Structure 1
Amino acid sequence: MEDRLNRTEEEVAHLRRAVDDLSDMVARQTREIDLLTRRVAMLLERAAEAEAEGGGTVPLADQKPPHW
């Protein structure tokens, strides 16, 4: 009985460690996704500004695709 309890406690400890590791990974990925989202938004703004300055037409991002 005691052996079974020890194995169960050991398994719970491993599972807690795995949950903590996964939680850290998700937090790290969330920060990275937020950073990348901000960078993409900035790049889209820069591209739209460059298009507006260059041609005076509707920015490509605001144009409807040809099949619409």
Structure 2
Amino acid sequence: MTDRIEHLEEQLAFLTKTVDELSDVVARQTLEIDRLGRSVGMLMEREAEREVGEGGQIPLADQKPPHW
């Protein structure tokens, strides 16, 4: 019985450590995704400004597709 309890405690400790590590990974990925999203947004704004500056048209990203 004692061996079984020790084995379960070892498994629990391993699983707890794994969950903590995965939680850290998810937190880092969330920060990275947020940073990348802001970068894409800034790039889209720059491209829209460049398109307007070149021809004065509605930016391509804001135009509706032809089938609409």
In 1, distance between residues paired with 2:58 and 2:10?
63
Deviation digits for residues 48-68 of structure 1 (CA, Å, limit 9, x no counterpart): 000010000111111110111
Relative to the length of structure 2, the TM-score reads 0.97
**CA RMSD in angstroms, aligned pairs only:** 0.5
Runs of 4+ in 1 over 2 A off after TM superposition: none
Letter paired with 2:40? V
In 1, distance between residues paired with 2:29 and 2:59?
32
CA drift of 1:38 comes to 0.4
In 1, distance between residues paired with 2:31 and 2:3?
42
Unaligned 5+ residue runs, structure 2? none
Relative to the length of structure 1, the TM-score reads 0.97
Unaligned 5+ residue runs, structure 1? none
Identity of aligned residues (%): 62
How many matched pairs?
68
